[in-house]
Structure 1
C-alpha cells in the first residue's frame, strides 16, 4: 500500500525534532524534480522529444506532493515565442500508480490519441498532468477539483520553466474527470498561475456536474438497479477520494465487508479491469453499504466543497461540449450547469452532439479547434 504524503511528512517532522535537525521546506509549486523518457505506451504517436516530468504540487488539504506529467512536442522547429500549450486533463483511468497517463498512456481509450493528435497537428505542445497520487507517492483524491486545478497549473509552470521552446500562453482541455478538472482549472488558473503564466481559456467535454446531489442518496436502501460497471467503479473511486480528502469521516465504517473489500481493490485497479471484475461479480451499489452515507453531518456541503463545480468567477472563455447520449455523466445536470453559468453572466459556450460519453470527444473538435485558435489569437 502506498504510504501517504501526510504520514511521511509527520514522520519527517518528528524525526527532525528528536534529532534537533531543520525540516526541509517544500519546493515552490511547479518546481521540476526530474525528467525522464516516456514509455512507448505513454508516448503520443507523432510527437517529438516527449518526456515525463516529476514536479512539486499539492494534494488534498493543501499538503505538498510530487506529481507527474507527460509533455508532448510537435515535430519541427517551434514558432517565434515558442509552442503554445494545451494542458490536457485526462478522464478516469483509475487510482493505482500503474494507471497513470505518463506511465501507461490512455490504455483502452485509444480515442485520446486521435484527440490529442489533432491538437498536436494544429501546432500545440501538450502538457498532460497525471494528478497527485497517480504515478507518484500518496493517494489520488479522485475528483477533488481544487487539487486537480493545482496539479494542472503546476504542470504547465514546470514544463514551461523546463523547456524554453514552450510559450507561456496556454489553454486547458479535458474530458470526463478531466472535463471537471478543466472547469476547476478555468476558475482558478489565473489565481494559481500568477502573472508568469498567460492563461487563455478552457475546453471541457463530458463534464460531471452536480453529482454531489446524487451521492447523498448512497446507502443500503438504494434500489438494486443494474448500472454499468464503470458507474459502480466511479462510485468506488469517489468513496476513495472522500476517504483521502476527509479521513475523519471514516468512510469504511459506512460499508459492508464486501464494500470495504471493493474499496481496497479500487485503490489499485485501473478502470477497465475494475469494471470487468465488478460486472463478473454482479455487484449492486446498495449492497456495498451498511448505513446511509447521508448520516454524515453536512454531507452535501462537504461534497460540494470537494467536487461541486464553481458556478461563478471565470475570467476567460469556457467551452462545454456534451454528448446527448452520454450516460457516464448525468447529461441533464451538465446542461443545467451550463445554463447556470449563462444565467450568472459567465463566459461559457455550450455545444451539444448526438453522441455518447466517448463519441462527443472527437466530435467536438470541429467546434473546439476554432474556439482555441481564437483564444490564442
Structure 2
C-alpha cells in the first residue's frame, strides 16, 4: 500500500459519528453486562487492551490545523505495575477523502510535559513544536494518534520513562483509534521524540508480538534518553552540576515514576528533604513550572545517599533500559549534536549498540539542539516512513 492512492468516498461526518457512537455504546454495554452487581459504586471492569471507554471532542487548544473531527479517547492499556489501566489520547484524521484502504497511521509519542493530569497534551494546549511536527505528518497523508500515557489525565500517577507501559500505550492507542475511526488503516508506525523516543523504542520492540492484528512497519525515535540506567547509579550527595538542561526536574520525574512502578523500593530513603520536596511537587507541576521551582538546586542536593547499590541499580535498569536486540522492523534513530537536554553520546551509543547487535537501524546526526534537531530530521524521517509504507 502506498500513501498516495485513488481516493474513495469517505463516510459523512454524521455517519461517522453514528458509527463511533454505536461502537462505544456497544463496548460500554458489554462492560455493564459483565460487571458484577454491587450496592456501592465501583470502577468499570477492565476491557481488552485498546478497548475504548469514551469518546470526546478535543479542547480547542489541542486541535491541529489540517485535521477534522479530532477527538479524545479514553481506552484500556497496561499500567506500570502490569495491571490494566486507563489512558487518554487524541486522534487526528487528515482533511479530505481517505485513500483506498484507509489512512496509514503515525502513533505519536510525546516528549516530556510532566506527570500531573493538567500536563496531558489532549487535555489542554499542545506545544508549537508538536503543532509543527504533527502537522507535517498530516500534510504527508498520515492520520496521527497520540497517547497521553497512563496516569496523564487518568487515575493514578504517570510513571515517567517507564518503558513497558509507555510503549504499550502507544500500541493500544492504534487499536483504540481504529475501533472508533473507520477511515484508519491497520498499517502504522511508531514515532516519538525525547520521552516519546524512549516510548517509541519500547513500542517497536514488541509491536508485532503484542498486536499481531495490526500491520506495524517500523519506528522513528529522536532525542531518545537511552542508557540512563548507566548514569543514575553514579548519582549521590555532592553530584556535580553537569550543565544539562532541566536535569533536576527530569530526575524528580524519574524518581517519582520509580516509586509508582516499584512501591517495594524505599525510594524516599535516597532523598534529602530538598529532594523529597521536589519529587512531591513533580506530581503537581508541569515541566516548565517544575523547572522554575527547582531553580539552582542540583541533583547532588536532592540525594542523601549514593544510588549505586544493587537494589537501586537493578530497579532502575528494569524500569527504563531500552532494549538493543529483538526488533523485527526497521528503526530510525536521530540526535542533535549540541543537545544539552539528552546528550548526544546517549543517542549515539544507542544506535551503535543496535547496529552491533545486527538490528536494522538508520542513524542520523543533526546540527540543532534538542527540539530543533527533531524538526531538522523531518525530511529524513518522513522519507524513511514513506518507504516503509
Scaled by the length of structure 1, the TM-score of the pair is 0.90
Return the match for 2:312 from 286, 299, 310. 299
What are structure 1's unaligned runs of at least 5 residues? 1-15
Determine the C-alpha separation between the residues in 1 that align with 2:38 and 2:138: 52
Return the match for 2:337 from 317, 324, 337. 324
How many aligned residue pairs are there? 354
What are structure 2's unaligned runs of at least 5 residues? 1-35
Q: Please give the residue correspondences for 1:1-377 in structure 2 after superposition, counting only pairs within 5 Å.
A: 25-107=45-127, 110-194=128-212, 196-223=213-240, 225=241, 227-228=243-244, 230-279=246-295, 282-295=296-309, 297-376=310-389
Determine the C-alpha separation between the residues in 2 that align with 1:278 and 1:257: 13
1:189-234 C-alpha deviation (Å, 9 max, x unpaired): 111112x1110100111011101111002221313x2645522110
Determine the C-alpha separation between the residues in 2 that align with 1:262 and 1:40: 32
1:169, 1:200 within 8 Å by CA — same for their partners in 2?
yes
Determine the C-alpha separation between the residues in 2 that align with 1:348 and 1:104: 35
2:243, 2:340 within 8 Å by CA — same for their partners in 1?
no
1:306-351 C-alpha deviation (Å, 9 max, x unpaired): 1111010000000011111111113112101101111111010001
The DSSP-based 3-state class of the residue aligned with 2:325 is: coil
Scaled by the length of structure 2, the TM-score of the pair is 0.87
Residue 45 of structure 1 and its aligned partner are, at CA, apart by 2.1
Determine the C-alpha separation between the residues in 2 that align with 1:99 and 1:18: 34
The DSSP-based 3-state class of the residue aligned with 1:294 is: coil
RMSD of equivalent CA atoms: 2.0
Determine the C-alpha separation between the residues in 2 that align with 1:288 and 1:76: 52
Determine the C-alpha separation between the residues in 1 that align with 2:111 and 2:56: 23
The DSSP-based 3-state class of the residue aligned with 1:358 is: helix
1:131-170 C-alpha deviation (Å, 9 max, x unpaired): 1000111111110110011101111001011111111100
1:246-280 C-alpha deviation (Å, 9 max, x unpaired): 1111211211112111111011110111112222x
The DSSP-based 3-state class of the residue aligned with 1:78 is: coil
4+ aligned runs moved over 3 Å, structure 1: 16-19, 21-25, 226-229
Determine the C-alpha separation between the residues in 1 that align with 2:311 and 2:102: 48
Q: Are residues 23 and 127 of structure 1, via their aligned partners in 2, closer, same or farther at CA, if it must alter by over 3 Å?
A: closer
Determine the C-alpha separation between the residues in 1 that align with 2:152 and 2:251: 18
